[in-house]
Amino acid sequence: MRIAVMGAGAVGCYYGGMLSRAGHQVILIGRAQHVEAIHQHGLFMDTTRFRAHVPVRASTEVSDIRGASLILCCVKSNDTENAAAVMAPFVEPNAILLSLQNGVDNAGRLHAKLQHIVHPAVVYVAAEMMGPGHLKHHGRGELVVGPSAMSPEMLEGFVSAGVPVHVSDNVFGELWAKLILNCAYNAISAITKLPYGLLFENEDARDLMRLVVHECLAVAQRESITVPGDSWQEVERIAATMAGQFSSTAQDLMRGRRSEIDHLNGYIVRRGKSSAIDTPANQALYSLVKLLESAITADHPGPT
């Protein structure tokens, strides 16, 4: 498979690196600092199962996605439209596009700009970039996709590369299930600078997370979305399987970057408003993260 990964952050590097390590032709499209480091030493993958410098192609030029039969879109949800616009001229007509992003509407947003089918994939991986070309993997690494997202060969390619792929006939519900976990954990971890395990141990945090989950499920129900599984059990499971993890929102704020909160608790607030469901707990978390972001931006003015 010729695979292009748009966005060389933690998610892009993890999946791109795993596929490259298994012998697939992968190119990572990312920022100069990561690309240069990867050119020099390969991608350094420090995972729960191995530590290795993995050779992989990397480029700052989006035009290098040309010729890819599979494109994994791994940019932040804030950058979805921009990514679609710059990718558009170089996407092969029969390329398969997967969105490996947080939030529930990225595949649709990519489709609207690209006029190309985009399949959503639900990502469960705990990983972060420790420096240029240096990926730290804390746990998990599976994907959930719809029945039409991957051919049997492609599915086999992922699985043999160490990337479990679950096929679900309710991938939209699965995206919501992940969104609910993100809504429960991301903002609270960012605001308190605490990892998932410590949050879940705390009764006050659990009270708040319960409210958040309850509001999310009310919005989902109003929108006729069937959220698979028991969301609260999944919240519990995250505390056990990713105890040491700080949310991506926490990582963004610590690094002075804009977070995806508009696509997490902010999304619930907007959908709640449009369907007349009150979401005050989500609103509280959303407002606080936005406030913290604005304080960061005021401290460190930069190129938007």
Of residues 145 and 219, the one with the C-beta less far from its own copies: 219
The amino acid at 298: A
Smallest distance, its own copies to C-beta of residue 199, A? 7
Of residues 155 and 211, the one with the C-beta less far from its own copies: 211
- Please name which of 254, 251, 106 lies closest in space to residue 186, comparing C-alpha atoms: 251
Chain residues that interact with its own copies, rule: CB under 8 A? 188, 191-194, 199, 202, 204-205, 207-208, 211, 215, 278, 280-281, 283-288, 290-292, 294-295
Of residues 107 and 199, the one with the C-beta less far from its own copies: 199
DSSP string, 71-94: EEE-S-GGGHHHHHHHHGGG--TT
Smallest distance, its own copies to C-beta of residue 200, A? 11
8 A C-beta contact, residue 150 and residue 165: yes
For residue 22, give every residue at least 6 positions away whose Cβ sits within 8 Å of its Cβ, in sequence order, or none. Answer: 157, 160, 161, 162
**Structure letter (DSSP) for residue 65:** G
Structure tokens, 67: 């010729």
Of residues 177 and 213, the one with the C-beta less far from its own copies: 213
Of residues 173 and 195, the one with the C-beta less far from its own copies: 195
Smallest distance, its own copies to C-beta of residue 5, A? 33
8 A C-beta contact, residue 18 and residue 162: yes
Smallest distance, its own copies to C-beta of residue 233, A? 21
Smallest distance, its own copies to C-beta of residue 55, A? 42
